Amino acid sequence: DTGVSQDPRHKITKRGQNVTFRCDPISEHNRLYWYRQTLGQGPEFLTYFQNEAQLEKSRLLSDRFSAERPKGSFSTLEIQRTEQGDSAMYLCASSLAGGPPEQYFGPGTRLTVT
């Protein structure tokens, strides 16, 4: 049983560029979550999916952010027109609906916007 994987692990981009991150959850998990963690802070919820449906979005998820989970398996998080304030660790987690409530986290994608 492999854990949650994320790709890439690190991304450096220039302000104004678009970036896309991928998350592969634990295979039998149908819930998938995205969080953002800035330096010295705990993770903050961005959005979550149950299967392919995006059920909740945080107000932190501005119009420049979009997330998809087209087949209910992997998910992508895209940030358009990146800003320096987008620099953070982007964490993905997964869990099983009807199972234990705890979420299992991936290693994260560290985004640096220059």
Partner 1 sequence: AQTVTQSQPEMSVQEAETVTLSCTYDTSESNYYLFWYKQPPSRQMILVIRQEAYKQQNATENRFSVNFQKAAKSFSLKISDSQLGDTAMYFCAFMKYSGAGSYQLTFGKGTKLSVIP
Residues lying near partner 1 in the complex (CB under 8 A): 3-4, 31, 33, 35, 40-45, 48, 56, 58, 91, 93, 95, 100-108
Please state the closest distance from residue 14 (CB atom) to partner 1, in A. Answer: 25
Please state the closest distance from residue 71 (CB atom) to partner 1, in A. Answer: 21
Measured from the CB atom, the residue of 31 and 79 that comes closer to partner 1 is 31
Please state the closest distance from residue 70 (CB atom) to partner 1, in A. Answer: 21
Measured from the CB atom, the residue of 58 and 66 that comes closer to partner 1 is 58
Between β-strands 109-113 and 44-50, what pairing exists: parallel, antiparallel or unpaired? unpaired
Please state the closest distance from residue 113 (CB atom) to partner 1, in A. Answer: 20
Query: E strands within 1-114?
Result: 5-7, 10-13, 19-24, 31-37, 44-50, 53-57, 65-68, 75-79, 88-95, 104-105, 109-113
Measured from the CB atom, the residue of 18 and 41 that comes closer to partner 1 is 41
Measured from the CB atom, the residue of 9 and 15 that comes closer to partner 1 is 9
